Amino acid sequence: MKKIIGSIITGIILSFTVLTDANAENNFLPYNEVRNFSEGLAPVSILKKNDKGIEFELYGFMDEKAKEVIAPKYEDVGKFSEGLAKVQLEGKWGFIDQTGKLIVSNKYDQADKFKNGLAAVRKNGKWGYINTKGKEVVKPQYDKAYAFSYNLGAVKKNGHWSYINKKGTAVIKTKYTSVKRFISGYAAIKHNGKWGYIDTKGNVVIQPQYKKVHSFYEGLAAVYKDGKWGFIDKNNHVKIKFKYEDITDFSEGLAGFQKNWHWGFIDKKGNVKIKNNYLQIYSGFSEGFASIMNRAENGGYIDQNGNAFPKFETDFVGYPFQNGKAIVNVGGDGQYYILKVLSLH
C-alpha cells in the first residue's frame, strides 16, 4: 500500500510515500520486527507459537519495495555485508547470500559480519576468521576478535592484543589493555587507563591521554577530557572545545551535541547549526535527514536546517535513510512502515 504525503519546508516542497503491505488492514508491514536496510535488504520477523502455545520469532528478509525475498525461518539474522548475512539455526550461526542460499553451514557459536572478505567466528570458545567460501583461513584460537578493516584484524590472546593480517600473522604487536578497529586510518588504543591512537603501521600518532574516545569520522574524533566532550583532528589539535555533556560522531558535516540535557547539532567549526531543543537523537544525518525526539517526546525527522517532517508523532522512531528509504516504527512490535522520499524541489 502506498500513501502520498508531503511537507513544505521553507519554500521547498518535499513529497514522500509510506510503503506498507497491500493486504494490511492497519497500514503497517506484516512483521513483528523490521530492522534497518543493508545492501538493499532488511531483516524482518514474524511470530509463531510452539506446541505449548509459547510465542517465538522467526527471521527472514524483505527488499526495499517491502517484498519478502527470504522467508522467515531463522532464529536470528544479521545485516548483509559484502553480499552475505549471518543466520542462526538451532543455536548455531552460518551465512547465506541474497538469494537465501546457504554459503557457510551453521556450525559457529557466534559470528560477525564480513569485512575485507573475512568474518570473525567463534567455535569451542575461541575466535578465528573465515573467508566468503566458508574456509577457516585463520583457525579459531583467540579470546576476542574484531572485524577486519584496512586488512587488519584486532585479536586478543592470553591477555595481549595484536593486529593480524589475513594469513593470521601478527603485524602489529601491542602492549595495550584495549583496542578498537581501524577507522579512517587510525585505531584507538588504551594504555594505563588512557586512550590514544595508532596508525596502520602501529606508530603511536596521538599519545594516550583521554578518558574516553570515539573513532575518527570526517577528519575529527570525539574525545572526553575533564568531564566534557570535544573534538580533535588527526594532529591532536582541539578543533571543538571540551564543553559538551555528550556527543555523536560527525555525519554529513554535522555532529549531535548534548548540553543542559538537550540535543542539537554543530558543524566542524563548532558553530551551532541546530539548537539543542531535542530530548534524543535516534540517528545522525543520513541522506540529509536525522531522526530525533522533541521536547514533547514525539519523534520525527529534521533536515540540516532543523525543519521537521512529515510531522512529529508519539512513539515515532525513524531509522537512517538509505537509497531514499527509511524504516519507521510508531509504537513497538508490529507497527513498522517504509518512508520513501519521492521528490525534493
Q: Per residue in 214-246, pLDDT tens?
A: 999 999 999 999 999 999 999 999 999 999 999
Q: Give the single-character DSSP code of 38.
A: B
Q: What pLDDT is stored for residue 57 in this prediction?
A: 97
Residue 201 has pLDDT above 60, yes or no: yes
Which residue type does 150 have?
Y
Q: Give the single-character DSSP code of 30.
A: S
CB 69 within 8 A of CB 84: no
pTM, two decimal places: 0.90
CB neighbours (10 Å) of residue 308? 15
Contacts by residues 339-344 (CB-CB < 8 Å, ≥ 24 positions apart): 339/16, 339/17, 339/18, 339/19, 340/16, 340/17, 340/18, 340/19, 341/14, 341/15, 341/16, 341/287, 342/4, 342/15, 342/16, 342/17, 343/13, 343/14, 343/15, 344/12, 344/13, 344/14, 344/288
Residues 253, 261, 321, 112, Cα dihedral to 10°: 100
Q: What is the pLDDT of residues 280-318, one digit of tens each?
A: 999 999 999 999 999 889 999 999 999 987 678 888 999
72: preceding bond cis by omega (within 30 degrees): no
Q: What pLDDT is stored for residue 185 in this prediction?
A: 98
Q: What pLDDT is stored for residue 4 in this prediction?
A: 39
Q: What pLDDT is stored for residue 341 in this prediction?
A: 82
Residue 25 has pLDDT above 70, yes or no: no
The C-alpha cell at 230 is: 570535544
Q: What pLDDT is stored for residue 331 in this prediction?
A: 86
User: What is the arithmetic mean of pLDDT over 142-167?
Assistant: 97
Q: What pLDDT is stored for residue 314 in this prediction?
A: 84
Q: Which residue reads 574516553 in cell numbers?
A: 212
pLDDT band, very low/low/confident/very high, at 10 (cuts 50, 70, 90): very low
Q: Using CA atoms, how far apart are residues 122 and 309, in angstroms rounded to an integer? A: 44
Residue 24 has pLDDT above 80, yes or no: no
Q: Using CA atoms, how far apart are residues 43 and 49, in angstroms rounded to an integer? A: 20
The C-alpha cell at 85 is: 548475512
Q: What pLDDT is stored for residue 313 in this prediction?
A: 83
Q: What pLDDT is stored for residue 20 in this prediction?
A: 61
User: What is the arithmetic mean of pLDDT over 271-284?
Assistant: 97
CA nearest neighbour of 37 among 283, 300, 331, 315:
283
Q: What pLDDT is stored for residue 166 in this prediction?
A: 97
Q: Using CA atoms, how far apart are residues 107 and 338, in angstroms rounded to an integer? A: 34
User: What is the arithmetic mean of pLDDT over 14-23?
Assistant: 56
Residue 342 has pLDDT above 90, yes or no: no
Q: What is the pLDDT of residues 76-116, one digit of tens each?
A: 999 999 999 999 999 999 999 999 999 999 999 999 999 99
Q: What pLDDT is stored for residue 210 in this prediction?
A: 98
